[in-house]
Structures are given as C-alpha cells and as structure tokens.
Structure 1
Amino acid sequence: MGFTALLCFLSAFTLTTQDLASLIVSPTVTAECDQQVTLNCNVSSYQNGLSITHLEWSQDKTKLCTMDSLGGLIQHNTAPLGSFQCDYEDGRLSVTFPRVRALNSGKYRCKLRSNHGTSNEYTTVELKECCAKVEGVFMSDGPSCTFHRVYPEGEVHWFHGSHNLSDGSVRHNTSQSVDNEGYLTIHSYLKRKSSHVPYNCSLKSTRSGRYIASTLVKTELPSNGEVRNMGSSNLSRSQEPMRTILGILILLAAIMK
C-alpha cells in the first residue's frame, strides 16, 4: 500500500514538474546604435492548458509592458527609456525599440505568473561601439576635435605624422559630457603651432581597444606664418581670371575711342 502511494506521488510530481511553465528569451541581443531592436519572451507551455495571470517586461524594476489575467496589455510610460512598443500574441510578449539608444543597453527581465507556476528569465541588450559624427578644426591656439554620440567611453589619441602625441610627451586637454539619451560627446584639443603636416585625432574604445573614429585636422601656412582661411583663399583665386578679362575689355574700349 505504501509502495503504491509512493509511485502515485512520484508520478504526480513528474507530471507537475513537466507542466511547469517556462520562458524562452535570448540571453543576449546585440544592437547597433539608433537602429530598431525587439526583445521577445515566449511562454513554452502556452498550448498545454496554461492560464497566464501576469506577464511583463521590465528593466531595473521599471515596468515596460504588462499583461494581466484578462489579456489586457498595458504599456507603461517610462520617459528615460525613450519610445518603445509592446505587443502580445499567442504566448509571446514583445517590446520593440524603434531607435535603440545608449540608455536602452543593460539587463531586462521577463516575468510570468500562471496556474502552472512562476518563472523569470533575463536578456541583456548590448550596443555595438559607435560614433555618429566627428569634427576637426584648427583654432588659433592649436588643433581640436569633437566626437558626437559616442558609445561606450573612449580615449582620444593625437598623432602628428608618425609621432604619437598621446604617449605623454605632449599634454592634450580632453573633456566629455553625457546627453539625455546616454551618448557621450568627447572634445579634445592641443596647444600646438600650425604645421604643413596635418594632425590626426582618433578615438579608441575602452571596451575593445580598437579605434572607432578619426579625423585629420589640416592647416595652410602662407609666407607670413599665419593660419589662413581656406575658403577665403580659394574664393580670391577664383576671382583672378575674371579680373584679367575685365581689364582687357577696358583696355580695348579705350583703344577704340
């Protein structure tokens, strides 16, 4: 009798364990900056008599999408994370970021409560290294460069010809700020004299150790040694043929008289 009861208990335990609801997510989702990314959470035993009482996506205890026992889908207002869209269909809860930003990187949790038990699974959004724009200009006291919408952090390295100016021999001033989307703006400048050889300003990622953006900062030196505006000098040269033609026409008019 006792043996029979034990067998019944083990069978019931096995069935209960097999029927427990579980969640399927991608452990890691790699995304490009400012591109669309979707996180999917699938309930594995949705077709086996499962009754969902609660299903949600969240990040750092901040709820994004919630589905209740009546099938109602709530999209929570989380301004810091920017725009996103929640969808639910056939046991799958999805959250889509149409333009993923630096603030969207990190760990997300999918949480389930049902008549078959509870389950939690996590997925991590990893952004690729990026720099949307780089500008270089030669100021009165030396070259400067600015990197816009950078992720993650980076180190600015200056080069002049074959010389690495960031080896400690030359001091360069670098500052950075964070915008409301979590991206960095990194500005750097050198106090150096003008040169016929352009300066190279490069950004090295602290995550991978590779250079993700660079620009050349050029100057033009006239005989007096002052930095000359390239646009103005080109405009003056383009007007020289017109002045010559005008002078010839004036001379012909004077001879004809």
Structure 2
Amino acid sequence: MSSFFVPRMNRGFVQILIFWFIPAVCDSAIITLETKPHVEATCGENVTLTCKASFSNQENVKIIKFQWLHAGRNMCANEDKDTDDLFRCGRTNTNSHHELTLILTKIKPIQEGQYLCKIHTSVGVENIKANVVTKDCIGNSTTSMNQTHATCSFRGNYPSGVVHWFQGDVNITDGVSTQAERDEDGFYDFQSTLDTEGRNLSQPLSCSLWMPSMGKYVVNLRSNALSSSGSIIQLQWVCVLLEIIMMSYRM
C-alpha cells in the first residue's frame, strides 16, 4: 500500500507569499466602460457617442490609449481634440472617470454601423460597442413628361425604396423601367420612366416612393407635369372654339 507524503511548507515562506500576493490583488484595478449600445439618427442630425471609463483603483491606472474606432479607422486617439469633415472628438478627465466623446456631424448613411470604444491601460485593455443606424432620409424629387414618356426622379433617400406608378387609384407599375444608384454618401437615387405612348391618359398619372423598411410611401408626386400634354392641347382648342362661338352670338 503506497502512501503520499505532503511536505509541510515553511511558515516563513508562506508569510512571504502572502506579503507579495495580497497587495498585488488589492492594488489591481477593474476597468469599466459605459456607452449607449444602440443609437438611431435622422439624416442631417449631429449624433453624440460618449464612452465613459472608470476604474476601481484610479491611483494605480495609467491610460496609454483611449480611442473610438469605426470601419478600421482610428477616429479619436489620445488627443484632447480631433476634427474632420464627418466628425469631431473631445475628452474630459475628472477624479472619478474619463470620457471620450465622438460627435458625428450631419450624419449620413455611410457613417452608420458599429463603433468601438477601446481603452489601453497599464492594467489591461477593455472595449465596448455602439451601433449607429440612420433612418428617415428623404431627399428631393422631380417629375417630367413628353409625348411618349413620363419620368419621376427621387434623389438622396435612405434606406432603399421602390417606385410605384398609379393612374387614378390603379397601380400600373408593371413594365415600368426604374434605375437605382447609390452615391458616395450612401444615399439612394431612383429614376423611373413610364411609357405613355398609346396609353389612355384620361385619368391623371402619379408616382410614389415606397420604403419597405418603413412600411409606407414617403413621397407622392401628383404633378401637372404628369398630365397628358395631348389632353392639354385638346382643352386649349375647346376653349378657342367656345370663344369663337360666343363672339358669333354677340355679333
């Protein structure tokens, strides 16, 4: 039968371990980061992201780097202030905490996404995420019409949408040609053309921009530019004939 021998540790050695271990544990600092995890913004607004850092033992912490990151870009590092066409930064230090503020100026769709607040300190590294979403970006719209086609243009919209055509209350979108492009700022542009040749235009035409993400039409165009030019000409001739008849009665 085998036996195990557990040596007794020297009392002085144990005291030395306690002497070094306890201060090391007690002097360590816990890093806490706080920020708003989800932010929704309307296009053109200024959006402020604030990252607050605090420590359980402030005296033993040295901040090496404090930054906001987006799409691989270091937006705010150790500098107190930073400026850019799309953002600016600011930093506030107090006895209890440190704050790094990132202001997205006149926010555009290309600025949405995940932002990472990250801090490097002498006691470790910590990070926290904030997700920014842009919504309700409605741009400008125009209409035009000639003898054979009616065109509606919607520019500077986000999120993406779908152009619908109506004659009166009837949806006539089938067969319509629509082109969609996304510009450098992330906005969507739409140009939709309806072939009017051979179509009965006794009822007015209209076009609308439907945004599935919002579940509604955000732009409705019912312009005189979408009236039948042929009908206008006919109406003008009717007016001329009526004027001739009235003049003949007066004579």
Coarse TM-score class (shorter-chain normalised): 0.7 to 0.9
CA 158–3 in structure 1, closer or farther in 2 if over 3 Å, else same = farther
- 1:86 matched to 2:107? The reply is no
Partner of 2:183: 179
> Contact (CA 8 Å) 2:117, 2:127: kept in 1 or not?
yes
Partner of 1:35: 45
Taking the aligned partners of 2:104 and 2:142, their CA distance within structure 1 comes to 29
* Aligned amino acid, residue 216 of structure 2: R
* Aligned amino acid, residue 162 of structure 1: D
- Helix, strand or coil for the counterpart of 1:44? strand
> Contact (CA 8 Å) 1:40, 1:92: kept in 2 or not?
yes
Partner of 1:245: none
Q: Deviations over 1:79-100 (max 9, x none)?
A: xxx4211111121111112210
Q: Give how far 1:120 is off.
A: 0.8
* Aligned amino acid, residue 75 of structure 2: L
The total of aligned residue pairs comes to 218
- Structure 1: state its 5+ residue gaps: 241-257
Partner of 1:20: 30
CA 114–174 in structure 1, closer or farther in 2 if over 3 Å, else same = same
With normalisation by structure 2, the TM-score equals: 0.74
Taking the aligned partners of 1:14 and 1:109, their CA distance within structure 2 comes to 30
Q: Deviations over 1:92-147 (max 9, x none)?
A: 11111221011111111111011232111111110113212122222332321111
- Helix, strand or coil for the counterpart of 1:146? strand
* Aligned amino acid, residue 52 of structure 1: I
Q: Give how far 1:58 is off.
A: 1.1
> Contact (CA 8 Å) 2:157, 2:187: kept in 1 or not?
yes
Taking the aligned partners of 1:104 and 1:142, their CA distance within structure 2 comes to 37
Q: Deviations over 1:30-64 (max 9, x none)?
A: 11101111111111328832321101111111111
- 1:199 matched to 2:205? The reply is yes
Trace 1:4-153 onto structure 2 (pairs within 5 A): 13=25, 16=28, 19-45=29-55, 48-49=58-59, 50-67=61-78, 72-73=79-80, 75=82, 82-90=85-93, 91-153=98-160
Taking the aligned partners of 2:228 and 2:217, their CA distance within structure 1 comes to 30
Taking the aligned partners of 1:139 and 1:211, their CA distance within structure 2 comes to 26
> Contact (CA 8 Å) 2:178, 2:192: kept in 1 or not?
yes
> Contact (CA 8 Å) 2:204, 2:227: kept in 1 or not?
no
Q: Deviations over 1:177-229 (max 9, x none)?
A: 2222111111111112462422221112132332222211434557xx3555x
- Helix, strand or coil for the counterpart of 2:139? strand
> Contact (CA 8 Å) 1:137, 1:143: kept in 2 or not?
yes
Taking the aligned partners of 1:106 and 1:163, their CA distance within structure 2 comes to 39
Q: Which is further off, 121-130 or 187-196?
A: 187-196
Taking the aligned partners of 2:134 and 2:45, their CA distance within structure 1 comes to 10
